[in-house]
Amino acid sequence: MTDSQIPVLEAIDAARAGNSPERWPEKIPVRDRVALLLDPGSWVEDGLLANSASEGLPADGVLTGVGTVHGRTVAVIAHDFAVKAGSWGELTVEKQIRILERADRDLLPVFYLVDSAGGRLTDQFGFFHGSRGASRIFQLQVALSGRVPQICCLHGPSAAGGAYMPAFTDWVGMVNGNASMYLASPRVAEMVTGEKTTLEEMGGAMMHASISGCGDEVFDSDWEAIAAARHLLSYLPDDWRTRPAEVEARQPARLDWPANLIPEEQNGGYDVRDVIDRLADADSFFEIKARWATEIVVGFARLDGSVVGVVANQPSVRSGAIFVDSADKAARFISMCDAYNIPLLFLQDVPGFMVGVAIERQGIIRHGAKMVTAMASAEVPKVAVVLRKAYAAGFYAMCAPGFEPRATLALPGATIAPMSPEASTNAIYARKIEAIEDDNEREQFVAEKVAEQSADADLLNVASRLIVDAVVEPGDLRTELVRRFHAAQGWSRSANRRHHVISPV
């Protein structure tokens, strides 16, 4: 070893050692996070010596490179919270741009291990202004959206403009108590608006997972978030040109179907996850945004070893009606499935879109249109199942026959109608009902008309008009779905169809 080599080797050792993470005992050091994410021995790092001439800035606060997850090559961006709180300077940004450009060129899935206080204000001309500034990162993220999976584990802050990095990804897992997303800190917010708040209240993990919808799931530790991210990739293809890998089929966790699993009473609540457990391969349901807009359930599952996307109304929450947030939640998930060639299963038990002054002012029509547009635009095979009821425009949004599902199935006793029999009776005969003075006579008249309306919505009547393709006994539904999706495996996209982005909610 020559004397001229020693400084370089020392710089490499210093960069790999990094700064001490002891001030954050609850956090896993960044290189350990990368080791948890990737298959052993697969990490190939770029830009290790970035800013090595500056003291205290090992790797300039971000690790970038490639490795494998389940043997699949992926690109990685991992912020080092021990180096100036993971803040971005000129070379921090340049490293991230370069790895995203490689992901764009080679079509590599991207994992983001985010823990950054935002732009380094002492280097603002480096990270903010130019064509190789932070805006280029976001340009590349949008260019990659819908072309390769982008998966984010948020371990700490994601502040100011940097908060958009997680927002442009397909999934965000947040570590409770550490992770946060915000455009301005509570101190800045108070200066601008006079509002006093806390970081957790304004941008914490639970808030984003349950109220804003910016987070997909909350975890108690770094390693749990990373484990979930690795698992999520198993449901996704490498890029938009390929399809998710199949695995060995497993029987559902539950093989029984109790008579009261779906109550006969139209408004009776039940957990649609109990239905999913009887259709999907055991332990294969990976729910997305489980804490937000809970009147609809979306997620990936395996059906006889193949990945499907599930969109299901949740009767145990607000009767499963579609609200503004649940329409957005469904729209984004449907777009994600279509982008990554994942067939869609719609489980319908929907009274319709929510109505009323407040919901109209929130733009339910506009948000509902987003859901319908996403569903109608999806070219992947779609199968719809009416579990109990499908009313009004909710039936449309959940993939009615006019939107070309491969099949519309129904369980015995299901009903499909523009309104519930009670609602349609009141709409048609409101004045006549009001004019009947005798209580018994009015009650009898209403009962007769409800019976008439119920006959129109009767499943035999609906099936005889080819509105449903098959009536399936509950115990046979999984087998029927496996056959239907298997028969659709030869599907292909329109010749001129290009990829589409997965729009933020």
Q: What is the CATH number of the domain that holds 367?
A: 3.90.226.10
User: Which structural domain range is residue 447 located in?
Assistant: 418-457
Question: Which residues touch 49 (CB under 8 Å, ≥6 apart)?
Answer: 8, 11, 12, 15, 59
Q: Are residues 173 and 196 in the same domain?
A: yes
Cα–Cα distance measured from residue 302 to residue 25, given in angstroms and rounded to the nearest whole number: 38
**Residue 27 and residue 98 in one domain:** yes
Residue 314 lies in a domain: yes
Q: Determine the residue type at 384.
A: A
pLDDT tens across the length of the chain (505 residues) = 666 666 788 888 888 888 888 888 889 999 999 999 999 999 999 999 888 877 778 999 999 999 999 999 999 999 999 999 888 999 999 999 999 999 999 999 999 999 998 878 777 766 777 889 889 999 999 999 999 999 999 999 998 878 899 999 999 999 999 999 988 777 888 788 888 888 888 899 999 999 999 999 999 999 999 999 999 999 999 999 999 999 999 999 999 999 999 999 988 999 999 999 999 999 999 999 999 999 999 999 999 999 999 999 999 999 999 999 999 999 999 999 999 999 999 999 999 999 999 999 999 999 999 999 999 999 999 999 999 999 999 999 999 999 999 999 999 989 998 877 777 777 777 788 787 877 787 778 877 777 776 666 678 888 888 999 999 999 999 999 999 999 999 999 887 665 677 776 6
Are 353 and 430 in the same domain?
Answer: no
- Do 410 and 423 lie in a common domain? no
Residues 356 and 292 reside in one and the same domain: yes
Taking Cα atoms as reference points, which of 63, 158, 174, 163 lies closest to residue 116?
Answer: 158
Is residue 195 situated within a structural domain?
yes
DSSP, res 88: B
Residues 505/169, Cβ–Cβ less than 8 Å: no
Q: Tell me if 498 is assigned to some domain.
A: no
How is residue 86 annotated by DSSP? Answer: G
Residue 396 lies in a domain: yes
128 and 13 together in one domain: yes
Please indicate, yes or no, whether residues 26 and 162 belong to a single structural domain of this protein: yes
Position 373 in a domain: yes
Tell me the C-alpha distance between 7 and 202, whole Å. 46
Please check whether residues 409 and 445 belong to one and the same domain: no
Is residue 242 a part of any domain in this protein? no
Q: Are residues 325 and 425 in the same domain?
A: no
Q: How many domains does the chain have?
A: 3
**Do 357 and 483 sit in the same domain of this protein?**
yes
Do 223 and 326 fall into the same domain?
Answer: no
- 98 falls within a domain: yes
CA distance 503 to 213: 13
219 & 290 share domain: no
